[in-house]
Amino acid sequence: MRVHVALSPSEFADAPVSGRTVLAVDVLRATSAAVAACEAGCRRVVPVPDEAAAEALRGTDGVVLAGERGGHAIPGFDLGNSPDEFTRARVEGRTVVLTTTNGTAAMMRAATGAAAALVALTNVSAAAAWARDQRRDVTVLCAGDNGAFSLEDAVCAGLLVVRLSDGEPGAELSGGAVAARALGLHYAGHLWRLAADSPWARRLAHQAREVDLAACLRQDVSTVVPVFAAGGFATAPAERAGLAAGAAGRDGAGAGA
């Protein structure tokens, strides 16, 4: 297995995607929000490039508009980009049309691969297992920070690389993958440090979004992997069945309480 990490959007054009398994990562906050939306039972998450493209889908049956610009919710949209906004009451069974400053561009680029999925710190081990099962070379696209390097995305990519390479002794890592792996190992077990070390995390804190930081800077709290199919990222059928069974079990337990 060959593993490549594009550490910023400036590397996307040259990043190998054809015939590969491609994963997009935007820890703060697009892929974390997408994992939360799929966990809450949304039908799919459809990334679009801008507000106009999202607005064009307004009024479509079952569509919810979500997104941000510069960390702020887009006026008139149903939801912003905070993972905690994507509750069952708001998104279950609905299509989330998402546009964000950084993440959705990486998602759309990932979708051009042979197989594509979304990874965040919240589902990194599940995403690694899914990628390994695809039996292809892997490319990871870091959404970055307004076109530049993003520390938290590189750390997440690195933790993914650790899981892929540890299970594949002959794995060949690109320079970007080696750098990301080192960062992942450096922050492993200390993800809370990203809240202070990441410039984007500090800006979100300045916007009083500490709740988002707490939600996004958690590791392996979800086994959901949003996988691209039919124009959007959705929970794989087997995972969806498991989530439905879990929800039914919780409802039944509540009824008997």
46 and 91 in contact (C-beta within 8 Å)? no
**Other CB atoms closer than 10 Å to residue 8's CB: what's the count?**
20
* 0.85 surpassed by pTM: yes
217 occurs within a structural domain: yes
Q: Which amino acid is at 211?
A: V
249 occurs within a structural domain: no
CATH number, domain of 226, equals 3.90.1560.10
6 occurs within a structural domain: yes
> Using one digit for the tens of pLDDT, what is the confidence trace for 44-75?
999 999 999 999 999 899 999 999 999 999 99
134 occurs within a structural domain: yes
Q: Which of 251, 220, 191, 205 is nearest to 120 (CA)?
A: 220
- What confidence category does residue 243 fall into, taking pLDDT thresholds of 50, 70 and 90? low
257 occurs within a structural domain: no
> Using one digit for the tens of pLDDT, what is the confidence trace for 152-175?
999 999 999 999 999 788 899 999
Give the C-alpha separation, 180 to 5, whole Å. Answer: 7
250 occurs within a structural domain: no
253 occurs within a structural domain: no
> Using one digit for the tens of pLDDT, what is the confidence trace for 186-207?
999 999 999 999 999 999 999 9
CA dihedral sign of residues 139, 122, 161, 153: positive
pLDDT surpassing 80 at residue 250? no
Length of the chain equals: 257
As a whole number, the mean pLDDT across the chain is: 93
- What average pLDDT score do residues 210-219 get? 97
Give pLDDT, residue 168: 84
Give pLDDT, residue 167: 76
Give pLDDT, residue 256: 42
φ/ψ (deg, to 5) at 224: -80, 135
Query: Rounded to the nearest 10 degrees, how much is the dihedral formed by the CA atoms of 169, 170, 174, 176?
Result: -10
Give pLDDT, residue 240: 52
- What confidence category does residue 244 fall into, taking pLDDT thresholds of 50, 70 and 90? low
Looking at the 3D structure of the chain, how many domains does it have? 1
Give the C-alpha separation, 162 to 125, whole Å. Answer: 10
pLDDT surpassing 70 at residue 245? no
> Using one digit for the tens of pLDDT, what is the confidence trace for 92-105?
999 999 999 999 99
- Domain residues for the domain of 203 are 2-244
Give the C-alpha separation, 100 to 136, whole Å. Answer: 29
255 occurs within a structural domain: no
21 and 115 in contact (C-beta within 8 Å)? yes
- What confidence category does residue 257 fall into, taking pLDDT thresholds of 50, 70 and 90? very low
